[in-house]
Chain A
Amino acid sequence: MAYVSIPTYSRSIPQRYALIGARCKSCGTVNFPRGVNCLKCGKVLESEPVKLSGRGKIYCFTTVSRGGAPPEFATQQKFVGSYPVAVVELDEGPKIVAQMVDCKAEQLKIDLKVESTFRRIYEDDGMIRYGIKFRPARAS
């Protein structure tokens, strides 16, 4: 059943797979995801693509437990349990919402430095829907 149709999902594949942001030509703000109008100046978004680094920090997070998961994630919750979801403030400015992986509950905190990773999100219409999740940034 197509909760989010393939065309709808596919229009945002550059964002979902490769974190391609849109830099507004009017005000320079990096928009993510790409909407009709610039999130900052409100003008119709004419932009150039910019590949975001995937680095950022947690702005806020919650752990989705029983009863809190949408149907797309019912299987994930049944098979692997609760999962954390975070709003991440990317280094380039915009915020993105995604699941957190590869971390223990104790590690999660506001301002934790994180980095992106490419994962399977869910399946629908027979297709694997891939996207980005985040994990604690590794020391470099």
Chain B
Amino acid sequence: MQAGIVSCGVYIPRLRIKREEYQRAWGYSSRWVEEKSVAGFDEDSITMSVEAASNALMNANLDVSEIDAVYFASTSAPYAEKQNASTIATALGCKSDTATLDATSSTRSGTSALLSCLDFVASGRGRTGLVAAGDCPLGDPTGTLEHQLGAAAAAVVVGREQAAVKVEGSFSIASETLGERFRRDGQSYVTSVDLGPYHERAVDQVVTSCMKGMMDRLHRSPKDYAWLVLQGLDDGKAMGLSKKLGFEDSKIAPSMISAKIGDVGAASPLLALSKLLESTLQGQRMILCSYGPGGGADALSLSIEGEMKTVSGAAYADYLARKEYIDYMTYMKVRRIIAKG
């Protein structure tokens, strides 16, 4: 039994902060992020996911009563213990016998949740599932990682019938890379140990194995794919690595999202996927690859066979355009960095 992607939905919060604010505050900024999105004082990875999920349901023209599963992915879930997906399911108005699941601890959680939900549907446990990945990670304010961390959510409806995007196959790699990007239990801020060359090699190795493994399994090569989404590493690394793997820049460029919203953690792969699928890509194939620092990677081979609808006003470009700039002091208050509010 096959399962595929029926629809997508996105959410980007309104607040934005420019690179110049970080330059002014700390004297440096990330090369790849011109400005990033910021979760408001009353937003978090759950609230953002609810909106993305609502959009995905609207785009699928699906009533919430048809959803059999809600899977949530994030590295910044509001609760470390107390299920977050159940809040999302309740907010959407899902029926009580909905299967809920939280996938956390990695920027790879978005694709992990997607793969699990596809299995949920393919196995016959349910007919339609919803994957919502929302993230607003926070880095140590004095560290170099913080500037690039943004906020957003993306949701994917998976099902058997009317799946515009077929999932042809997948491949996953488990790896144990230490110090790359992590947050210990009880810590508020995600951090990393500065081991540039060591980590670069690890990323290289894991992503290469994952992508090659997936293409080999399907007897494919880069030329069979019109598009590549590669998330979980910064834009520069992603572009460089994809070139090395044999993909032209034009195949990966449209899915680079961090310049205007930053690194949105577990939401990154699904957000980039959603953005691409808003365009008419019927008849084309895409690889979706997501790297989780310290943990491995997932790759999915997608064949776009039908049309994906996007309700007017809820497209990626619409959310991107709705913005309000804040300064660094406001950022410190809104993200509760200056004090726990």
Contacts and interface: CB of A to CB of B under 8 A. Distances in A.
Chain A in direct contact with chain B (Cβ < 8 angstroms): yes
Interface of A: 13-14, 17-18, 20, 51, 75-76, 78-80, 101-102, 117-121, 128, 130, 133, 138-140
Contacts of A80: 41, 333-334
B87 A130 contact: yes
Interface string B288-326: 000000000000000000000001110000100010000
B131 to A, nearest CB: 18
A14 B95 CA distance: 12
A140 B87 contact: no
B42 A79 contact: no
Given A76-B42, A101-B40, A120-B42, A18 B341 contact: no
B40 A51 contact: no
Contacts of B41: 76, 79-80, 120
Contacts of A138: 313, 318
B311 A140 contact: yes
Chain B at the A interface: SS class: loop
A79 B93 contact: no
B101 interface: no
Given A18-B92, A79-B333, A140-B313, A128 B42 contact: no
B90 A18 contact: yes
B313 A133 contact: no
A59 B78 CA distance: 34
B192 interface: no
A101 B312 contact: no
A118 B93 contact: no
A68 B333 CA distance: 21
B43 A119 contact: yes
A139 B43 CA distance: 23
A82 to B, nearest CB: 13
Given A51-B93, A117-B51, A128-B78, A133 B311 contact: no
B341 A17 contact: no
B318 to A, nearest CB: 8
A128 B45 CA distance: 13
B322 to A, nearest CB: 8
9 contacts: A17-B90, A18-B91, A51-B93, A101-B40, A117-B51, A118-B91, A130-B46, A130-B47, A133-B42
